[in-house]
Amino acid sequence: MATNRCRFKLLQGNEACVEGALAVGMRFYAGYPITPSTEIAERSSVRLPQLGGKFIQMEDEISSIAAALGASVAGVKSMTATSGPGFSLKQENIGYAAIAEIPIVIVDVQRSGPSTGLPTSPSQGDVMQAKWGTHGDHPTIAISPTSVQSTYNEIIRAFNLSERFRTPVIFLMDEVVGHMREGIELIPTEELEIIDRNEKMINGLPYAVGEREYIPHMPSFGTGSLYNITGLFHDDEGFPTNDNKMAHDEGLRLMKKIEVYKDDIIKYETIDTDDCDTLIVCYGGTMRAVLGAKERAKETGLKFGIFNPITIWPFPEEKLAELSKKIKNILVVEHNYGQILLTVQRIVKDNSNVHFLGKIDGTTISPDEIIKKLQEVNSNAQ
């Protein structure tokens, strides 16, 4: 049982990511050091052995996610972490995890790119890569925390979603959140809701699903049940198939297991949206600047609401569409050239005027810049 003395700590976002993962049962980490996620590997290397877990540094990002997938197949909750260039390398095995239905959490602490870019600078340039990086149609869950506390809380939710839906979950942090330090509450394991995968096979078939179900019940390797795992479309036993109908049905099921339960997956936060003419859409580290702008806006008389999609994918489309029908202007604020902007424009259509404030130079968007943009939006609307 955690004591009050160790329950509250001053932690970096990357450190809180590890502590939350450990609290929910992560006992295997494989990774390769890369700025600005390196502290996740460093803390995992210290903390996992203390809890009987295993840490391994692999030779690159591809082998790192492969090792984590192997551990997960054996029944161990597993995680790997990286940044943009490494996230690109992991994409093939993210697709493999999606079709083979292997639970895993992939942490991406985003930095400025493309390529090596600005390794220590903030960015949110991997949003679309999180959705579309792996080829083919596949289910995607991506979560973006805004603070050190939400990093701890949301990594727990990421593992629960991965286990429940037997799918990779992308934990989309950014350099701002990863490297900030805040006092947080470490909620102990015994007080958490923890979801573990269902391993009771249906009719002895690892990929079989029940009527009106979409998620298979697969036992862990090493527990006595023999079955095949492949990256090819496969039958209920896990063996490859060229049957077009079987491939269609499997592909559709993979998508539906997320679509049908999207209300259990989607999470968002709204602030002061009931009485505002302008709505700011922001996520991750940019939320901090927007909250700062909100404090300063009181001095200028500016009023605006905030819509923060914590679950980036699936995007909370219905709520944003509802808000857009009663708001004149929407300002999207993000550290890229406009990635969530594209999704917002598609959802909002002609309901509101959509504006954009972004940066790709490695510096953070400031509260003053947000206020200046809001004043510009308001003056153009008059």
Backbone angles phi, psi at 170, to 5 degrees: -100, 125
Is residue 381 within 8 A of residue 357, CB to CB? The reply is: no
DSSP H or E run through 353: strand 353-358
Burial of residue 353 (number of CB atoms within 10 Å: 0-12, 13-18, 19+): middle
| pLDDT class of 1 with cuts at 50, 70, 90 | very low
**Amino acid found at 170:** I
Q: Each residue of 309-362: pLDDT tens digit?
A: 999 999 999 999 999 999 999 999 999 999 999 999 999 999 999 999 999 999
Rounded average pLDDT over 25-43? 97
Rounded average pLDDT over 212-217? 90
Q: How many whole angstroms separate alpha carbon 142 and alpha carbon 60?
A: 23
| pLDDT class of 2 with cuts at 50, 70, 90 | very low
Q: What integer pLDDT is reported at residue 4 of this predicted model?
A: 53
Nearest CA among 179, 195, 173 for reference residue 310: 173
Mean pLDDT of the chain: 95
Q: Each residue of 157-194: pLDDT tens digit?
A: 999 999 999 999 999 999 999 999 999 999 999 999 99
DSSP 202: B
Residue 257 has pLDDT above 80, yes or no: yes
Residue 65 has pLDDT above 80, yes or no: yes
Q: b vs e for 357-372, b when ≥16 Cβ sit within 10 Å of the residue's Cβ?
A: bbbbebebbebebbbe
Least confident of 56-60, 188-192, 201-205, 243-247: 201-205
* DSSP SS3 for 305: strand
The pTM score is 0.95
Higher pLDDT: 3 or 50? It is: 50
Higher pLDDT: 338 or 226? It is: 338
Q: Each residue of 98-156: pLDDT tens digit?
A: 999 999 999 999 999 999 999 999 999 999 999 999 999 999 999 999 999 999 999 99
Q: How many whole angstroms separate alpha carbon 353 and alpha carbon 278?
A: 9
Q: What integer pLDDT is reported at residue 205 of this predicted model?
A: 93
Paired with 218 in beta bridges are none
Q: What integer pLDDT is reported at residue 3 of this predicted model?
A: 46
Residue 381 has pLDDT above 70, yes or no: no
Q: Are strands 353-358 and 278-281 parallel, antiparallel or unpaired?
A: unpaired
Q: In the chain, what are the domains? A: 4-191 (3.40.50.970), 269-381 (3.40.50.920)
